[in-house]
Amino acid sequence: MGLLIRLCGISAILFVMGILLFIVREAAPVVVSGRVSLVQFLTRPEWFPTSEVHRRYGALAMIAGTFSVTGLAMLMAVPFGLGAALYLSEFCPPRPKEVLKIVMELLAAIPSVVWGFIGLTVLSRIIVTLTGAPVGVNMLNGALVLALMSVPIIVSIAEDALKAVPDSYREAALALGATRWQVTWRVLLPAARHGLLAAVLLGVGRGVGETMAVLMTTGHAVQMPRSVLDSVRTLTANIAAELGEAPAGSDHYRVLFLTGVLLMVITLAINVTADLIVRGVKRS
């Protein structure tokens, strides 16, 4: 039994190494052989994976798409997420608080394909009506959906961070005659800033990694975004749209795995940073 437990214990390592090795192994030949240059992949926006005249694998437009959609989503989600976390942890009476936390949890459980469907059918029409954009599936739509998806994570982690601030801080500030708002602004936010940062980072991680919702709502156009009403394509959506087509072993297939490696590196960096920050908070 002990052996089995030990084996399962290190299974996580095996799986992570397995995934990493596997996608790197699938991606490597195309880079090593020099058929696709890494520099071109990262700096050119031209993506013509099946061209008959000149195949080009430039992911820059999609990298820009991923970060612009995620960035815009965070612009909306962070204030709301932190605001809601502050409300829940500092201002809300206990019973509504329980209810709100459950609502948040249910919100987090809505599947991404349902979000995508909502964006495609409901939000796109609202966006066209309100902004006069020519097409309702665009960066704004994707960002709205992503914001709604990442808010519950931000709220839950941020609330934990606020809860971790010792009550003695609050009491000391209140005893000095500070109002609750002053306590929040002057004491809690600075004291919990690492945890709040981690909350935001995890929200970003979720945004970068999200696939189906973004695939259905961003309009899926390879172009450098110039306005929030432009359609864009993200790295994840691109893999989802093209993975099936690429014959296994072809350059195209390998470049898609290369995109996977890139995504993995980005999310890994974000998640590990967030975890280090959270861990630092716990230790102190």
| Contact indicator for 87, 177 with CB cutoff of 8 Å | no
Q: Work out how close the CB of 208 gets to another protein at its nearest, in angstroms, rounded to a whole number.
A: 7
Q: Assess contact for 281 and 195: CB atoms under 8 A.
A: yes
In this complex, which beta carbon is closest to another protein, that of residue 37 or of residue 44?
A: 44
**Which of 68, 236 has the CB closer to another protein?**
236
Where does 11-78 show beta strands of DSSP type E?
A: 47-48, 56-57
Least distance CB 13 / another protein (angstroms): 4
Identify the burial level of 103 via C-beta atoms within 10 angstroms of its C-beta, where 0-12 means exposed, 13-18 middle and 19 or more buried: exposed
* Residue 213 CB, nearest approach to another protein (Å): 10
Instruction: List the beta bridge partners of residue 284.
Output: none
45: Cβ–Cβ under 8 A, 6 or more apart, which residues? Answer: 58, 60, 61, 64, 222, 223, 224
CB 130 within 8 A of CB 224: no
SS3 assignment for 28-66: HHHHHCCCCCHHHHHHCCCEECCCCCCCEECCHHHHHHH
CB of 167 to another protein, least distance (A): 13
Measured CA to CA, the distance from residue 65 to residue 236 in angstroms comes to 10
In whole angstroms, the minimum distance from the beta carbon of 61 to another protein comes to: 7
Neighbour-count burial of 93, counting CB atoms closer than 10 A to its CB (0-12 exposed, 13-18 middle, 19+ buried): exposed
Q: Is 232 helix (H, G, I), strand (E, B) or coil?
A: strand
Q: Closest CB to another protein among 127 and 191?
A: 127
CA distance 199 to 232: 26
Instruction: Please report how close the Cβ of residue 38 comes to another protein at its closest, in angstroms.
Output: 18
**Greatest CA separation for the chain:** 75
Pick the closest to residue 119 from 63, 181, 73 (CA basis): 73
CB 102 to another protein: min, Å: 6
Nearest CB to another protein, comparing residues 191 and 222: 222
Cβ distance to another protein smaller for residue 31 or 240: 240
Which lies closer to another protein via its Cβ, residue 71 or residue 79? 79
Cβ proximity to another protein, 118 vs 140, nearer residue: 118
